[in-house]
């Protein structure tokens, strides 16, 4: 019985201690002059899609949910954000070479139309991020046009 108490106390202590280990927040205060929105001026409908369904993991500004204050949830989120930004950072889109931008745009379209993005685990907690068929089509059309114009400036 005593052993069990010590174990429980240990677990409680560990849970309390890890609350103090907080990774830095992914919230840049800098102006996003290099962002995809700033350089390509998408219409509001596209802007909304980007904001609601992509930006949390693919930009320098995450809107953290309340449960992000709890560890180890936050670590899990930061891990996702770090990977997401490595694949695609919409706030640093201007830094990609012309060809890389075309590739990224095509990849975005593929991931969205195939339903691979946004991630199912993300949609589970963010119902508003779910994309309708209509929204997916709007995004595809916008990307197609943009890719064509980028290709023609070669």
Partner 1 sequence: MKSYLLIACSTAMVVILSFNTKKEIDKSSTLLHNTVSAIPETKPIDGVINYYLQIKNALAADNSKEAATAGGKLKSALIDLGKEVMNPAQKKVYTDDADDAIEDAEHISQNAGNIKHQREHFEDLSDDMYDIIKAFGTTQTLYKDYCPMKKASWLSEFKEIKNPYYGNSMLTCGSVKETISKP
Contact positions vs partner 1 (CB under 8 A): 87, 97-100, 103, 106-107, 110
* Under 8 Å between Cβ of 64 and 23: no
Q: How far is the CB of 92 from partner 1 (least distance, A)?
A: 13
Q: Are 121 and 105 in contact (CB under 8 A)?
A: no
Tell me phi and psi for residue 27, to 5 degrees.
Answer: -135, 95
Closest distance to partner 1 from the beta carbon of 94 (Å): 14
Q: Which is nearer to partner 1, 25 or 99 (CB)?
A: 99
CB neighbours (10 Å) of residue 71?
A: 17
**Which residues does residue 61 pair with via DSSP β-bridges, in sequence order?**
27
Minimum distance from residue 99 beta carbon to partner 1 (Å): 7
DSSP string, 57-73: HHSSB----GGGGSTTH
Distance CA 70, CA 64 (A): 11
Query: How many CA atoms lie within 13 Å of 23's alpha carbon, on the beta-carbon side?
Result: 17
CB 78 to partner 1: min, Å: 21
Nearer to partner 1, 82 or 98 (CB): 98
User: What minimum distance in Å lies between the beta carbon of 70 and partner 1?
Assistant: 30
Q: Which is nearer to partner 1, 70 or 95 (CB)?
A: 95
If the CB atoms of residues 54 and 108 are measured against partner 1, the closer one turns out to be: 108
Is the CB of 87 or the CB of 137 nearer to partner 1?
Answer: 87
């Amino acid at each position: 019985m005593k052993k069990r108490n010590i174990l429980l106390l240990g677990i409680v202590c560990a849970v309390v201690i890890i609350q103090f280990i907080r990774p830095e927040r992914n919230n840049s205060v800098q102006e996003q002059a290099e962002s995809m929105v700033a350089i390509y001026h998408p219409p509001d409908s596209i802007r909304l899609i980007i904001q609601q369904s992509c930006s949390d993991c693919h930009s320098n500004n995450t809107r953290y949910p309340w449960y992000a204050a709890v560890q180890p949830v936050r670590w899990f989120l930061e891990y996702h954000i770090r990977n997401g930004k490595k694949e695609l950072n919409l706030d640093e889109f201007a830094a990609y070479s012309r060809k890389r931008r075309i590739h990224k745009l095509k990849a975005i379209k593929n991931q969205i139309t195939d339903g691979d993005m946004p991630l199912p685990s993300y949609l589970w907690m963010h119902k508003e991020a779910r994309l309708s068929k209509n929204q997916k089509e709007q995004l595809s059309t916008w990307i197609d046009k943009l890719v064509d114009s980028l290709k023609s400036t070669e």
